[in-house]
Amino acid sequence: MINMEELTGKHVDYLNKVINNKQKKRRTVLEKIKPYITSRYAKYQSKKSTLEDINASEIPLDVPSDKINKKYSLIHMYDSQEQYAREYLKEMKELLKEGIICPYCGLTESKQIDHFLPKSKFPEFSLYLPNMIVICSDCNKSKDNIAIDTTTNTRYVLNPYHDLDIYKYDFIECEIIPPYEASKFKIKICDDLTSTQKMLCLEHIKTVEIEKKIITLWRNYFDELSRRLKKNYKKNKNKYTDKEMMENFKEIIIDEIDTKNIEKNIIHKSLFLGCANNQALLKYWLTIFKD
């Protein structure tokens, strides 16, 4: 899970350009609801940190997809990728080309564009950059049309643009459960968060289905780290006291965060912090390396 900066753009200007470029029937439909669309853009910005509190769309949703109506005219603005829509989405497309890591899972390269509030339920945000996030195919499939429940004001997915009160912490913690020769790993949410924030983080992990992937990543890192520390011990065992060796282990583990360039990726970083701050584990490694 990675925090990202929201893409900015001339949202209303491009809305007008895209609408004006449509064929007459669809343009007429969109012109009539343009004031509503712009009002919803403003509402989105006012609620962007608590999108679970945004009210449901007033656009009729249970309508045929093969007819020119409000819902599918709005979705068509994004799906058709006409000239002005392409211009508006250019920076978003560039992010896909860069191959950035998915902000929802922090594990896989981003390949698709997700509409945080789904087009099917909030068609007015179909062509609205603040509602679009580049993510991986797996997370997009798992999230599907899930994001918020407007009837209960509940949110199920973290927003990498706006959940700054969560992302300012290393909010995912890796608990390493002994016996360390067959360690198990447990995902914990840091105590700095409120109960509501903790629940959102857990719902996010559940919704995008990443718990098993995280545990697998941690297991691989753990085994790799153990091998590196063992090699370091054999090289320096006559150089340090036991206490100094454990401090050396800790320094090596923390250095891995910089070496792997994962300072901003809490999923990866949490395993190394969990190891470095676990004195019992450091002592265990020292003991078995001596044998």
Per-residue pLDDT tens over the stretch 62-77:
999 989 999 999 999 9
What is the mean pLDDT of the segment spanning 192-202?
A: 95
The phi and psi torsions of 59 (rounded to 5 degrees) equal: -75, 130
Cα distance between residue 143 and residue 141, in whole Å? 6
**Same domain for 271 and 193:** yes
Quote the pLDDT of residue 69: 94
**Same domain for 128 and 48:** yes
| pLDDT tens per residue, range 148-170 | 998 899 999 999 999 999 999 99
Q: How many domains does the chain divide into? A: 2
> 259 or 103: whose pLDDT is higher?
103
**Same domain for 139 and 29:** yes
| pLDDT tens per residue, range 208-255 | 999 999 999 999 999 999 999 999 999 998 899 999 999 999 999 999
Query: What tokens does 158 get?
Result: 């973290």
Residue 15 lies in a domain: yes
**Same domain for 129 and 18:** yes
Residue 164 lies in a domain: no
Choose the final residue of a domain: 90, 109, 143: 143
Residue 8 reports pLDDT greater than 80? yes
**Same domain for 208 and 113:** no
Quote the pLDDT of residue 9: 83
Position 136 confidence tier, pLDDT thresholds 50, 70, 90: very high
Quote the pLDDT of residue 261: 84
Residue 113 reports pLDDT greater than 90? yes
Residue 5 lies in a domain: no
What is the mean pLDDT of the segment spanning 176-189?
A: 94
Give the count of alpha carbons within 13 A of 57, CB side only.
Answer: 22
**Same domain for 181 and 111:** no
Give the closest residue to 134 by CA, choosing from 85, 87, 105, 100.
Answer: 100
Residue 36 lies in a domain: yes
**Same domain for 98 and 216:** no
Quote the pLDDT of residue 277: 94
Residue 239 belongs to what domain range?
Answer: 169-290
Choose the final residue of a domain: 143, 159, 194: 143
**Same domain for 236 and 124:** no
Question: Using H for helix, E for strand and C for coil, what is the string for the chain?
Answer: CCCCCCCCCCHHHHHHHHHHCCCHHHHHHHHHHHHHHHHHHHHHHHCCCCHHHCCCCCCCCCCCCCCCCHHHHHHHHHHCCCHHHHHHCHHHHHHHHHCCECCCCCCCECCEEEECCCCCCCHHHCCCHHHEEEECHHHHHHHCCCCEECCCCEECCCCCCCCHHHHCCCCEEEEEECCHHHCEEEEEECCCCCHHHHHHHHHHHHHCCCHHHHHHHHHHHHHHHHHHHHHHHHHHCCCCCHHHHHHHHHHHHHHHHHHCCCCCCHHHHHHHHHHHCCHHHHHHHHHHHHC
**Same domain for 175 and 129:** no
Quote the pLDDT of residue 262: 85
Position 11 confidence tier, pLDDT thresholds 50, 70, 90: very high
